[in-house]
Amino acid sequence: MTPHKKTEAETYRQGIAKGEIPALSRAITLAESTLPEHKKLAREIITWCLPRSGKSIRVGITGIPGVGKSSFIESLGLYLARECGKKIAVLAIDPTSSETGGSVLGDKLRMQELSRHENVYVRPSPSAGSLGGVAKKTSDAVILCEAAGFDTIFIETVGVGQSEITCHSMVDFFMLLMITGAGDDIQGIKKGIIELADAVLITKADGRNKKKAELMKQEMEEALGFHRPPESGWGPRAYACSSVTGYGIKEIWQCVMDYEYLCRENGYFTEKRRKQAKYRLHEALVQNLEDSFYENSLIKETLGKVEKEVMEGKTDPYTGAANLLDLYFERLSPPRSAQEK
C-alpha cells in the first residue's frame, strides 16, 4: 500500500493543532496574501480551524499614540503568562501602517520581554490597505490563534479614524486607554468611543502623575455613570494603572473576568459573538464585491474615462457610478441564448 502523502493543508493543520508557532505564522501570512492560490489554501485551513476556535477571551485595546498601549499590553501580558498560566496572542489593526511606518508595526520591538515568553505570540500589523481588508486579516488571525491553543487574544488598534469601531466589532471586551493632560477632543471622548468601552484605563499612574491619574479616574467614573446601561447589563468601570509599577494591573484583569462571568451567565457573550459573525459576513460580502468590481477587465478599461467625465463636470458621480455598475452586471450576466438553454 502506498503511504499517504500529506497535503500542504494537512501539514498546516497538524502544525496549528500542536500549537507550533512557525506553522501559525505561515498560515497567517497566507491569510494576509492577495495571491489566489494563497487565498484558496488559507480558506481551507481557516475552515478547518473554525470549529476549533472561539474558546478564548478577545480583548480590544485602543487609545491615542503615546498613551502607552504597548507598555500596558506587555505589563498585563506578562502578569497573565507568568502568574495565571495564560497563552496570549497579540494582534493589531493599523490601516495607516504603509503611510506612517505604523505605530503598531514596531510592537514586537517595544514588547521585547513579552514576545520572548514561551506562551506569548506577538504578530505585527498586516500590511495596510482598506480598513475592511485589514479587519478581515485580523479576524482570520484570531481564528488561527485560537485553534493553535491561545486562550487570550489582545487586539490593539492605533486609535485613529474608524479602527476603534472595527476593533470593537471583533472583541468581547473593549478597553479605552487615556492619559492625563491630553484633552478630551484628542482622546476621542467626543467621537463616541467612550460609549463603546467596557473599561476606561488612565495610564501612567506613577510618580508625580499618580494623583492626577486618580483624579481623572474619579471623573471618568462619574461620566460613565451617566451613560445608558448597555445590552450586556455591564456597568463600565474606570481604573488608574501603571505599566512601570504594575499598579492596577491585577484589578483590571479581574474586571475582565467579572465581565466574562456576567455575560456568559446572562447569554450576552454568545449572542454578541453570533452578531459579530453576521457582521463579518456582510463585511466580507462588501469587500469581495468591491474586489470583483475593480478587478473586472471592462471596468478597468472604462473607469478612467468615467472619472474624467465626473472631474470635468460632464456627468455627476451618482450617474457615473450607476453606469459603471450597469456595465459590470451586464458583463456578469450570461448571454440570453445561454439563459434559454
pLDDT value of residue 105: 47
pLDDT value of residue 196: 87
Is the alpha carbon torsion for 191, 196, 200, 202 positive or negative?
A: negative
* 181: confidence class by pLDDT, cuts 50, 70, 90: confident
Q: What is the DSSP letter of 266?
A: S
pLDDT value of residue 19: 96
HSE of 76, CA atoms in CB hemisphere, 13 A = 27
Average pLDDT over residues 110-137: 78
pLDDT averaged over every residue in the chain: 87
Average pLDDT over residues 218-224: 90
Q: Which of 59-68, 94-103, 215-224, 303-312 has the lowest mean pLDDT?
A: 94-103
pLDDT single digits (tens) 151-168 = 999 999 876 567 788 888
How far apart are the C-alpha atoms of 107 and 74, rounded to whole Å?
10
In the chain, where the domains are located: 52-266, 282-333
Residue 255's nearest CA partner among 93, 76, 120 is 76
How far apart are the C-alpha atoms of 153 and 164, rounded to whole Å?
16
Q: Nearest 10 degrees: CA dihedral of 46, 50, 56, 62?
A: 50
Q: Which residue has the higher pLDDT, 111 or 274?
A: 274
Residue 22 above 70 pLDDT? yes
Residue 226 above 90 pLDDT? no
pLDDT value of residue 251: 98
What share of residues in the chain are helix, strand, coil (percent, to 5)? 60, 10, 30
Overall residue count recorded for the chain in this entry: 341
What's the N-to-C CA distance of the chain in angstroms? 47
Share of the chain above pLDDT 70, in %: 85
pLDDT single digits (tens) 62-120 = 988 889 999 999 999 999 999 999 999 999 876 555 444 444 445 566 788 999 999 99
Average pLDDT over residues 181-199: 71
For residue 85, which phi and psi values (nearest 5 degrees)? 65, 25
Q: Nearest 10 degrees: CA dihedral of 216, 155, 262, 259?
A: -20
Q: Is the pTM of this model over 0.85?
A: yes
Share of the chain above pLDDT 90, in %: 65
Average pLDDT over residues 57-66: 92
How far apart are the C-alpha atoms of 8 and 31, rounded to whole Å?
14
Residue 271 above 50 pLDDT? yes
Which of the following CATH numbers is that of domain 52-266: 2.40.50.110, 3.30.1950.10, 3.40.1160.10, 3.40.50.300?
3.40.50.300
pLDDT value of residue 230: 78
